[in-house]
Structure 1
Amino acid sequence: MSTPTLARDPVRPKQASAPADRHPLRIMAILATLMAFGSISTDLYLPAMPAMARDLGADTGAMEFTISGYLIGFSLGQLLWGAVSDRVGRRLPVAIGIILFVIGSAGCALSGSAAEVIGWRIVQAVGACAGVVLSRAMVRDLFSRDRAAQMLSTLIVIMAIAPLAGPLLGGQVLRFASWHWIFWLLVGIGGVTLAALFTVPETLAPEQRDPDAVRHALSRYGELLADRRILAYAGIGGFFYAGAFAYIAGSPFAYISYYHVPASAYGLLFGAAILGIMAMNMLNTRLVARFGSDHLLRAGAMMAAVTGLLAALAGWTGWGGLVGLLVPLLAFSALNGLIVANSLAGALAAWPDRAGAASALVGAIQYGSGILGSALVGLVADGTPWPLGLVIGLAGIGSLACTRLLPRG
C-alpha cells in the first residue's frame, strides 16, 4: 500500500510548543487528569459492583454490562470529539465533555435500577472520552513522534494515580456510605477539572485547524481505516483493551465473590496492577529512544499472548488458587506500558496533520474492543474465573497476530 503524503512528521510550529515550555508541570498535570477520566469513571466504583447488584436486584452479568454500556458511549463519542476538535480546537470540546461527564455521574447516583445506571453511564462516557482522546491529540500538537511516545508514557504514569487510588477510595467510601456517594464524588472531580481547564492555553493554532473536519468526518475516517499502519496500531491496542476491560469487568467478582477477598481490600489487588503499569511505562520512556516504539510494541504483544494464555490456564484449572490467577493477570495488565503509548504514538505519527481524527479513530477501535471483552465476560459468566482467563488469553493472541501488519524497517 502506498504511503499517503500526510504520513510524515513535520516540524511543529513554535506557537504550539510554547504553552508546554512555559508551564510544563501544570500542563502535564491537567492533561494527565483528563486522560484519567476514562479510568476513574470505572475504577472508583469497581469495589461497589457486588453491593450495587444486591441493592438494585441485578445479577452479575447485568452489572458487568454497566461497563460495556460505558464503553459504547466512550468509543462512539471519540469519533465525534476528534472531528470537532480538528475544526474548532481542543479546549472547547473538552469543556463540553466534562459537563456531560458531570451530568452522567449525577444520573448514576440517582439511579434505581441497573438499566438506569447503564443509560447514565453512556452519557458519562460520551463526556469523559472528550478529555481522554483530546488530551492525546494535545500531546501530539506539542511534541514529535518519539517524544510524544515518551510524553504519553509519562502522562500514563502520572495519571495512574487515579486508578491506583480509585478502588481504594471507593472501598473506603463503602465503609461509611452507600455506593451512590461514589458517583457524587465523580461529580465533584468533574467540577474541579473543568475549573482547571480554563488555565490551559489552546494547543491547536487557528491556521492548523481543518474547517471541513466535521463535514468530511466519515470519509476521512474511511481514509484512515484504509491505511494498514492504522489498522496495525489500532488492532494491537484494541485486542489488548479487550483483555484489559475483561479484567476490569470480571476481577471484582473473581476476587470478591469467588475467592472471598473483602471489598475494602480489592483496591490493594487492583492497585498492584496499576503499579505494574506505572513501572512498565517508566521503563518504556527509557527504552523507546534506544529501540524505537515499534520494536517495543512487538515485544509487548508477544508477552501479552504468553501471560494471557497463563491466565486462561489458571482460570480453567484453578491451579494456585488466587495467587495462581493473580500473577498472570498482573503481568498482562503491566504490559499496558509497552502497548498503549507506543500504539497511539505510531498511529498519530502516521497522520500527524489529522491527529484529532486519528486519535479518535484509534481510541474508538480500542474501546470498542473493550466493549466486546467486557460483554463477553458478562455473557459467559459462570461464577468462576474461567471466562475471565479465556477472554484475556484470546485478547493476547489477537494483539500478537496484529503485529504482522506493522511496517518493517
Structure 2
Amino acid sequence: MPLRILLILGALSAFGPLAIDFYLPSFPTLARQFGTDVEHVQLSLAAYFVGIALGQLFYGPLADRYGRRGPLLLGVALFTAASLACALAPSLEWLIGARFVQALGGCAGMVVTRAVVRDLCDPLASAKVFSQLVLVMGLAPILAPLGGGLLLGTLGWPWIFHSLALFAGLCLLAVLLWLPETRPQGFSPAPLRGALGQYRALLGNGAFITYSLLGGVAIAGMFAYIAGSPFVFIELYGVPAEHYGWLFGSNAAGFVLMAQVNARLVRRGGPGHWLRRMVLLYLASGLGLLGLAAWQPASLWPLLVPLFVCVASLGSILPNATACAMAGQGEHAGSASALLGSLQFSVAAGASALVGALHDGTAAPMALVIALCGAVACALAWKSRRYT
C-alpha cells in the first residue's frame, strides 16, 4: 500500500482515539465547570460510543453504494462541525449531544478505512496493514492526553475541541487531494434497500460474528480502562492532570509496540493462530489487575504492570481479529466493516457504562470489567478454532 494512503488512513483511524483521549484529563475540570461530578461527565464518553455504534451502520451501505470517498467526506465534515459545537457547549447536556453528533461523523473514517484496506489487500496483508495503522494512529493515545492536559492548563478546555476541529479540517483536505476511490471495479453498486438483508446475512456468518465479537470485547476492556483511568489515576491516586498523559501514553506505547511485533508474527502461523494465543495473555493480565485492585494498594505502581501488559496485548488482538472478520467480504466490505465496528462499539459502550455503574471509589470496577472482557474473549477464541 502506498505510504501516502497509509498515512491518510492512519489519520482517519485516529479520529476515535483523539476524540476520546484528548479530553480525558479535563473530566474533573468539566465536572466543576458544569456543576456536576465525574461520573456524570462520563456520560459524554458513553454518548460518543453509542454514536459510533449507530453511525457505522449507515456509512457501510453508503460506502458500498456510492464508493468510499463521498461518505467519508460527509462524515469528516460533520465531525469538524460537531467539534466546534463541543467547544461552545454552555451545559453538560449540550456537550453530550454534540459528542453524539461528533461520533456520527467520526465513525465514517473507521468504516471507510477498513473497507479501503480490504479493497487493496488480502487477509495476510490486511493483518500487516492494520498493524501498521496502529503505529500511525498510535501517536494519538500517546500524545492526546499530553496535549489535552497542556491545552487544559494554558488555554482552557474549549481549545481541546477547537484543536480537534482543526485536525479534522486538515484530514478533509487530504482526502480531497490524495485519497483515490478504491471500491473494486466491476462490482455492481449495492442498492441501499438491500442493506438490511446484507446485515442479516453477515449476522448469520459464524466466522464473521465470532471474530467481530472477539475484537469487540477486547475493545470493551480497553474502553473500561479509558473510562475508569481518569478517576483511578487523578482522583484516587492523586496524579496531576497534566501528568496523566505520561501514564496513559506509556500504555499506548506498549499497544503500538506489540502491533509492530504482530506484523512480523503473522508471517508465521497467520492472524488466527496468534489471536488465540494473545487472548490468554490478555486474560492473565486482567486477572492479575483485578487481584491487585481488590488488595487496594496504597501506591498506583503495582497496578501499572498488569495494566501495561493488558493494553499491550490488544496491539496484537485487535488487528488480527479485524483481519479475520473482514476476510472474504470483498464486494460488501463497506457493510461488513460497518457491522463489525457497530458490534464492537456497542459492547464497548456497555463496558464504559458498567464501570460508571459499579463505581465504588476504588480501582476494582475498572479491573473487574477488564477481567470479564478477557474471559469472554478467551471463550470466543476457543470457538473460533472451527473457522481456521
Assess same fold via TM > 0.5.
Answer: yes
Alignment check: 8 A CA contact 1:109 1:180 kept? yes
Offset from partner CA, 1:286-326 (integer Å, 9 cap, x none): 01011110011111211111111111112211147311111
Is 1:357 equivalent to 2:335 in the alignment? yes
Is 1:93 equivalent to 2:71 in the alignment? yes
Decide which of 171, 181, 190 is 1:202's aligned counterpart. Answer: 181
Distance 1:133 1:313 in 2: 37
The answer for the alignment partner of 1:387 in structure 2 is 365
Distance 2:4 2:194 in 1: 35
Alignment check: 8 A CA contact 1:230 1:350 kept? no
The answer for the alignment partner of 1:140 in structure 2 is 118
Distance 1:346 1:51 in 2: 41
Cα distance, 1:381 vs. partner? 1.2
Cα distance, 1:208 vs. partner? 2.4
Is 1:122 equivalent to 2:100 in the alignment? yes
Aligned residue pairs: how many? 386
Cα distance, 1:357 vs. partner? 1.0
Among all aligned residue pairs of Structure 1 and Structure 2, give the percentage whose two residues are the same amino acid.
41
Decide which of 328, 344, 348 is 2:322's aligned counterpart. Answer: 344
The answer for the alignment partner of 1:63 in structure 2 is 41
Q: TM-score, normalised by structure 2?
A: 0.97
The answer for the alignment partner of 2:285 in structure 1 is 307
Is 1:325 equivalent to 2:303 in the alignment? yes
Unaligned residue ranges in structure 1 (runs of 5+)? 1-19
Letter in 2 for 1:389: A
Distance 2:163 2:126 in 1: 32
Cα distance, 1:262 vs. partner? 0.6
Distance 1:141 1:326 in 2: 39
Letter in 2 for 1:271: G
Decide which of 162, 167, 172 is 2:145's aligned counterpart. Answer: 167
User: How much is the aligned-residue C-alpha RMSD, in angstroms?
Assistant: 1.2
SS of alignment partner, residue 289 of structure 1: coil
Alignment check: 8 A CA contact 1:105 1:186 kept? yes
Distance 2:156 2:252 in 1: 25
Cα distance, 1:386 vs. partner? 1.1
Unaligned residue ranges in structure 2 (runs of 5+)? none
Within 5 Å, give how 1:190-269 maps onto structure 2.
Answer: 190-198=168-176, 199-212=178-191, 214-269=192-247
Distance 1:202 1:353 in 2: 14
Letter in 2 for 1:210: P
Q: Measured at CA, do residues 262 and 298 of structure 1 come closer, stay the same or move farther in structure 2, by a change above 3 Å? A: same
The answer for the alignment partner of 2:135 in structure 1 is 157
Letter in 2 for 1:262: P
342-351 or 198-207: which moved more? 198-207
The answer for the alignment partner of 1:106 in structure 2 is 84
Letter in 2 for 1:63: V
Alignment check: 8 A CA contact 1:47 1:167 kept? yes
SS of alignment partner, residue 94 of structure 2: helix
Alignment check: 8 A CA contact 2:282 2:314 kept? no
Q: Measured at CA, do residues 152 and 54 of structure 1 come closer, stay the same or move farther in structure 2, by a change above 3 Å? A: same
Letter in 2 for 1:182: I
Distance 2:206 2:229 in 1: 34
Cα distance, 1:39 vs. partner? 0.6
The answer for the alignment partner of 1:81 in structure 2 is 59
SS of alignment partner, residue 362 of structure 1: helix
Distance 2:20 2:338 in 1: 20
SS of alignment partner, residue 309 of structure 2: helix
Alignment check: 8 A CA contact 2:61 2:190 kept? no
Distance 1:206 1:292 in 2: 28
123-132 or 296-305: which moved more? 296-305
Distance 1:327 1:97 in 2: 38
Distance 1:407 1:84 in 2: 33
